[in-house]
Amino acid sequence: MASFETAFNADKFNASPKHRAIYRRYEIAYTSLDLIAGLGFLVGSILFFWKATETAAIWLFTMASLFFFLRPLARVSRELELARLPVPEDDPAKQPGAEDTGSARSGASAAGSG
């Protein structure tokens, strides 16, 4: 189970190709949320110059605020998803000195055939 002890660990982002793919996907989402929120605030600010478009400006500010609220939720979601993935260094079979029975067998057969 994922916990906050394993989340928010910068070393996890490059732990494996799957970790990097998840991190990249969330970075795209996070950047998209930023752009949409920023654009909403920019257009909303411009619309506030005219009384006739004030209501539209208020709605744009409200929607942009929602996108700013979603940013930390996306980050927490990414961290929890990364924390659930196994880290290759945690696999005992991949530790230095661990027996690799597959290559030992292939090496023995190659030595016996020559």
Which pTM does this prediction carry? 0.66
114 pLDDT band (50/70/90 cuts)?
A: very low
Name the strand (E) or helix (H) holding 58: helix 54-84
Report the pLDDT averaged over residues 59-67: 96
Q: Give 82-108 pLDDT, tens digit per residue.
A: 888 888 776 556 555 555 555 444 454
4 pLDDT band (50/70/90 cuts)?
A: low
Between CA 91 and CA 88 the distance in angstroms is 5
Between CA 6 and CA 11 the distance in angstroms is 10
- 71 touches 34 (CB < 8 A): yes
Q: Give 8-53 pLDDT, tens digit per residue.
A: 766 677 888 898 999 999 999 999 999 999 999 999 999 999 999 9
- 48 touches 57 (CB < 8 A): yes
